[in-house]
Amino acid sequence: MTDLATAGRHALVIGGSMAGLLAARVLSEHYGDVTVLDRDVFPEAPDHRAGVPQSHHAHGLLPRGHEILAELFPGLLASLAQAGAFHTREGIPVLQVTPAGRLPAAPLRGQGEYLAFSRFLLEWQVRQWLREHTNVRFLPATEVTRLVGREDGTGVSGVQVRYRDGREGPEVLHADLVVEASGRTSKLGGWLQDLGYGAVPEESVTSDIGYASRFYRRPEGFPAPWHGLIINGRPPHNPRAGLILPVEDGRWHVTLGGFAGHHPPTDEAGFLAWARDLPDPGLYEAIRVAEPLTPIRGYRTPTNTWRHFERLPRWPRGLIALGDAVCHYNPIYGQGMSAAAVSAAALETSLRTGGPDFEHAFQKALARVVAAPWQVATGEDLRWPGVKLTGASAGPGLRLRHAYGNLVLGQAVRDEVVAGAFVDMIMNLRPPSVLARPAILARVLGGSLARALGGTVQDAEPALSPEVVSLLRTRPAGAPFHAPRRIT
């Protein structure tokens, strides 16, 4: 908690989603008071809210995100489990089916716990923790309309707000530090121009992704070795992707996605038909026998953007930006919440380091954190016809990178070492350069050459075995599988 050196200092966070909440937790150790503003009125129980339309859709928290949450919020993961989050020490946490086929997946077998939950349960638990354990207060139904500059022109002294619940306004709220964490719809670029800091350089990719989601009741005793399933699209011909994520209260959160203008339908027949046409039939066969619990909800994200605040020649004192307000990726890769956690960790490091220009130094440090996942996500988006990158060049080696990526996947489905390196990369545990290390390069090229000389390609193993599919097709939707044994 705060000490005498920080007492009386006020930090103000714009946005109460994951990036803002995690930033508020870090700031609570360095500022006497922290205020979180949000346009919404927060729900009194774990539930969807209008300001987070994507919470209707499945969210994953990558391993680094789990680690940071555990560090920032002692006991939070246990509280999530007590609140009904899915948790287990057995089975395969998530099985991934890549364009080359199914990746090798080792079961947990008691060597760690797999925990999965919905976005709105996580946000609610984090808000409760902050209210009970820190000097953080929430100011809901509050919209920020502009930044307030310091009289000497060196920075920001607060924000002007408009209240959305009938309170009188507008009003100026003063702070020693303003944190912009309002997400992909951030207006910070325009506010900075109004204060004379110039236009913010941006690069964006028009992935034009759409997705549709629904909650299902997980069939009791479902006879598969995995708890969650990811099925990737197969560029350039099959843009369909899908995800099953086990969440709280015995439910599956199912999201179907499509790239480059191919969007899954939200009607019953169209949703199931889209699932049936995925590159692997496992997801379709699973939801066909599951009980639907909610309507099908759709969402579209035409463009993903990296706002290069770190490139501005001048940066105002008393202001930082993080989370989706800086960089929002294609959500189908599941990087958003974990990126928010990594941003919070970078903020903690910058605050400890301090210095007279800590704010601009933080933006530069954050840009280094953002670069690797942006490269991975953008490179994959550019595999699809019609997707364009603006504000930057993909580089002359893009086709070579794609070709090598195909070889990596071709080897990964047969080689646990290569699969491990690939998974570490997509989980943001190691940079993309891990796949170019000599040991991995040798296995990829050697395996590819051996398959080429052999002249045969083994069929990829599906997410569900033929025996499981046959069993599923004997059960009506919603019927339990009473046999406890899982068929592999």
Stretch 388-414: mean pLDDT: 91
Whether 221 maps to a domain, the answer reads yes
- Number of helical H runs and strand E runs in the chain: 13, 21
Give the end of a domain, one of 377, 403, 436: 377
Please give the model's pTM, rounded to 2 decimal places: 0.92
Range of the structural domain that residue 436 is part of: 88-116+208-302+395-488
Taking only the tens place, the pLDDT of each residue in 273-283 is: 999 999 999 99
Please indicate, yes or no, whether residues 322 and 471 belong to a single structural domain of this protein.
no
The reply to whether 318 and 465 lie within a common domain is: no
Q: Is residue 98 part of a domain?
A: yes
User: What CATH number did the domain enclosing 323 receive?
Assistant: 3.50.50.60
Average pLDDT for 387-410: 90
Residues 215 and 281 in one domain: yes
Q: Does 51 fall in a domain?
A: yes
* Same domain as 172, residue 55: yes
pLDDT at 485: 41
Cα–Cα distances in Å, from 144 out to 16, 25, 178, 266, 428? 13, 21, 11, 34, 33
Is 433 a member of any domain? yes
Nearest-angstrom CA–CA distance, 435 and 443: 10
330: helix, coil or strand? coil
Give the amino acid at 477. Answer: A
Per the omega criterion (within 30 degrees of 0), is the bond before 236 cis? yes
* Final residue belonging to a domain, choices 347, 377, 407: 377
Say which range, 300-314, 331-345, 355-369, 409-423, has the weakest mean pLDDT.
Answer: 331-345
Strand blocks (E) in 164-201: 171-174, 177-180
- pLDDT, tens only, 301-322: 889 999 999 999 999 999 999 9
Bridge partner residues of 217 (DSSP) = 251, 291
Tell whether 322 and 366 lie within a shared domain.
yes
- Residue 83 within a domain: no
Note whether 138 and 108 are same-domain residues. no
Q: Taking 90 as the threshold, does the pLDDT of residue 108 lie above it?
A: no
Q: How confident is the model at residue 395 (pLDDT cuts 50, 70, 90)?
A: confident
Is 71 inside any structural domain?
A: no
Whether residue 17 is found in the same domain as residue 130 = yes
Do residues 124 and 33 both lie within one domain?
yes
Residue 213, helix vs strand vs coil: strand
Asked if residue 362 belongs to a domain, the reply is yes
**Shared domain check, 342 and 233:** no
Looking at the fold, whether 358 and 419 belong to one and the same domain comes out as: no
Q: What is the mean pLDDT of residues 351-365?
A: 91
Task: Verify that 350 and 472 share a domain, yes or no.
Answer: no
Question: Do 446 and 333 share a structural domain?
Answer: no
Mean pLDDT taken over the chain: 90
Structural domain contains residue 159: yes
Based on the structure, what is the number of domains in the chain? 2
Residues of the chain with pLDDT > 70, as a percent, come to 95
Which of 315, 349, 377 marks a domain boundary? 377
What is the percent of the chain where pLDDT is above 90?
Answer: 68
